[in-house]
Amino acid sequence: MTDRIHKSAIEVRDVSKVFGAGDSAFKALDHVSVDIRENEFFTLLGPSGCGKTTLLRMIAGFTYPTDGEIRLYGQNIAALPPFKRPVNTVFQNYALFPHMTVGENIAFGLEMLDRPKAEISARVEEMLALVKMGHLKDRKTAQISGGQQQRVALARALAPQPKVLLLDEPLSALDYKLRKDMQIELKRLQTETGITFIFVTHDQEEALTMSDRIAVMSAGKILQIGGPRDIYDRPAERFVAEFIGETNFLKADVATVADGKADVVLPGGTRVCARLAEGFVPHGKVTVVTRPEHAAIVANPDGAHLRGKLSSVVYVGTDTHFRVALESGESFCVRRQNSLEQGAAFAEGDMVGVVLETGAAQVLKD
Amino acid sequence: MNTSRHFGTALQYAFLGLAAFLSIFPFFWMLVSASNTSIDIIGGKTSFGAAFRTNVVNFFTQVDVPLVFWNSTKVAVLATVLTIVVSSLAGYGFEMFKSKARERVYSLVLLTLMIPFGALMIPLFLMMAKTGLINTHIAIMLPTIASAFIIFYFRQSTKAFPTELRDAAKVDGLKEWQIFFYIYMPVMRSTYAAAFVIVFMTNWNNYLWPLIVLQSNETKTITLVVSSLASAYYPDYGVVMIGTILATLPTLFVFFVMQRQFVQGMLGSVK
């Protein structure tokens, strides 16, 4: 995959978008900049109203930036209407034309491009085969299931061979099982076609599963861009840490800083080495973040990084969640994967220690 | 508790029964009267008689039925199609295109609903007279084409039209007029069917304005002809009722053919 990613497909440069004017003005995007590489699966992740769909609609050409510019393969696309951009979109509710059959929906965009009939017919068959929907070619879109509609929407969007495919929360209307299947299917399609996918979602699991890189957005800004592991294991800001998965926040004091790492003093006085975001030099009181699965419960509190009383033990099938009330008054969650050979058994009220994995701690910017 | 519930149900049935009677009785009376002589009808006879064939023959003798029906059909169908195309374009435009003046202009359009036709009659007649359109079918159709009610109806229905469909069509390279004709119209066909039924009935039954602008027998529509039969010195009510039955049939036909679409259109074309 890495060797295929070499140049920028889309460059978003200092883009802002303001809706309305005067007192009712609302800034949907606030000086956003991002480079999306050719052939990558890039995800815009954030809660509702964070501006991710606005950014996607700008790339598609449905709305225009108030400031800044968007370049597609080096070309400023501000003046180009949607159909002149080598970009296609899969909409949240699929936007299939209900008065047309599956085949007609896929062919429609090609017909509008005045492609020869033989080419259209061959392309429709090819797309139907790609999404495994050949047997439903003559069905009306209202007569197929949500998952099948999703596949047709993908086939229709891929038919004109766009360089970039925009996907606006396309899995949100599907049930859990179908969503999981479609996640794999989407990744397969992206790999097979080699098209740049820009995927918008508020579902962190979806983003982590499929993406080559993720941009986490909040309040019209991009807070962090990175691979799934970077985003999950090394969140730079509190919002990113909170939004992606469960996280423990601990107050700590910075002792020393060197080589992109900091020695911090945790509640209880233990020192640990914590990672730092690039170029960040902390001092004084900071917040340290660790994931629950990057820590372990030990029966003997002596020598552990943290100490406290076990306040709850919850079995959730694949894992057991332990919540420890630390002596400092903070609460700390530890997640242990279950196996047939269980380790030491713990009960609520036990005094326990928490040991952090090496490199588990990260200092937040806030 | 049970007694009051039964009483409520009884009241409901009584009300619905009365409403059904009031709706159905005019049709029943129209059919009964069409089979009786004028004397029987005036005498209040409410059972079927033997004069149906005579009344039909008399009606076809007195009225040039093909011409009258051709006039009515031409006016109703053309006016309906034009009204629906123009008003749906306006409704679509008011909903889809945002501008500062949009709501003000729309309010002005809706305000015209409050002006009674009586207040417009004389200015409209003068306009038609000045443009030489008196005694033509164009004069009947022109004032009905831009219908504030149908514009309102289409704007409200367009709110349910998914903007994503419009965006998808734009990606496919459709211009706005193509989106309207190739995507909007087929998707909203139930709304169009409901509008067709309403506007066709209004145009077919239009009486007052045609009465003012149509002056020769060659241009008259069915409503005017039936009315003229009823206002004769010695009206033959049996013949009038045959005319009324014939005048009612096309609207009934249109309604029953489009009944399912009409109900869907009233509930909203887009699910």
Give yes or no for a contact between A360 and A294, defined as CB atoms under 8 angstroms apart. Answer: yes
Section A286-292 average pLDDT: 93
Residues of A with a Cβ under 8 Å from any B Cβ are 60-62, 81-83, 87-89, 91-95, 97-99, 108-109, 112-113
The string of DSSP codes covering A119-178 is: HHHHHHHHHHHHTT-GGGTTSBGGGS-HHHHHHHHHHHHHTT--SEEEEESTTTTS-HHH
Structure-block tokens of residue A203: 């579902």
Contact A91 B189 (CB under 8 A): no
Contact A83 B172 (CB under 8 A): yes
Enumerate residues 6+ apart whose C-beta is below 8 A from B105.
B94
Residues B128-167 as b or e (16 or more Cβ within 10 Å = b): beeeebeeebebbbbbbbebbbbbbbbbebbeebbebbbb
Please state which of the ranges A54-68, A78-92, B6-20, B207-221 shows the lowest mean pLDDT: A78-92
In a domain, residue B94? The reply is: yes
Euclidean distance between CA atoms B51 and B72, whole angstroms: 27
For residue A303, name the pLDDT band (cuts at 50, 70, 90): confident
Q: How close A206 comes to chain B (CA, Å)? A: 23
Structure-block tokens of residue A41: 């699966």
pLDDT in tens, B170-225: 988 899 999 999 999 999 999 999 999 999 999 999 999 999 999 898 999 999 99
pLDDT at B136 over 60: yes
pLDDT at B246: 95
In a domain, residue B253? The reply is: yes
Q: Is A290 left (phi over 0), alpha (psi -120 to 50) or beta?
A: beta
pLDDT at A208: 93
pLDDT at B40 over 70: yes
Class of domain A8-233: alpha beta
Contact A99 B174 (CB under 8 A): no
Question: Could you write out the three-class secondary structure of A315-331?
Answer: ECCCEEEEEEEECCCCE
For residue A249, name the pLDDT band (cuts at 50, 70, 90): very high
Q: How far is CA B259 from each of CA B24, B169, B254, B268, rounded to the nearest angstrom?
A: 18, 30, 8, 14
pLDDT at A6: 58
Euclidean distance between CA atoms B149 and B153, whole angstroms: 6
In a domain, residue B136? The reply is: yes
Chain B residues within an 8 Å CB radius of A88: 171
Contact A91 B167 (CB under 8 A): yes
Q: State the CATH number of the domain containing residue B79.
A: 1.10.3720.10
Contact B167 A92 (CB under 8 A): no
Nearest residue, CB atoms, A99 vs list B169, B174, B186: B186
In a domain, residue B244? The reply is: yes
Section A294-317 average pLDDT: 90
pLDDT at B269: 60
Give yes or no for a contact between B90 and B146, defined as CB atoms under 8 angstroms apart. Answer: yes
For residue A3, name the pLDDT band (cuts at 50, 70, 90): very low
In a domain, residue B116? The reply is: yes
Contact B165 A95 (CB under 8 A): yes
Contact A95 B168 (CB under 8 A): yes
Q: How many domains does chain B have?
A: 1
Contact B174 A112 (CB under 8 A): yes
For residue A5, name the pLDDT band (cuts at 50, 70, 90): very low
Top-confidence residue, A291 or A282: A291
Q: Which residue of B has its CA nearest to A165?
A: B171
Chain A to chain B Cβ contacts (< 8 Å): 49
Q: Which residue of A has its CA nearest to B184?
A: A97
Section B83-92 average pLDDT: 96
Give yes or no for a contact between B194 and B265, defined as CB atoms under 8 angstroms apart. Answer: yes
Section A81-92 average pLDDT: 91
Nearest residue, CB atoms, B172 vs list A61, A87, A109: A109
Q: Is B185 part of the contact surface with chain A (CB cutoff 8 Å)? A: no
For residue A342, name the pLDDT band (cuts at 50, 70, 90): low
Top-confidence residue, A366 or B192: B192
Mean pLDDT score of chain A: 89
For residue B233, name the pLDDT band (cuts at 50, 70, 90): confident
Give the domain extent around B104: 36-267
Section A303-321 average pLDDT: 90
pLDDT at A341: 74
In a domain, residue B153? The reply is: yes
Class of domain A246-363: mainly beta
Contact B173 A113 (CB under 8 A): yes
B268: amino acid identity, one letter? G
Q: Is B175 part of the contact surface with chain A (CB cutoff 8 Å)? A: no
CATH 3.40.50.300 range(s) for chain A read 8-233
Task: Give which of A59, A83, A110 to mutate to test B binding, by max B Cβ within 10 Å.
Answer: A83
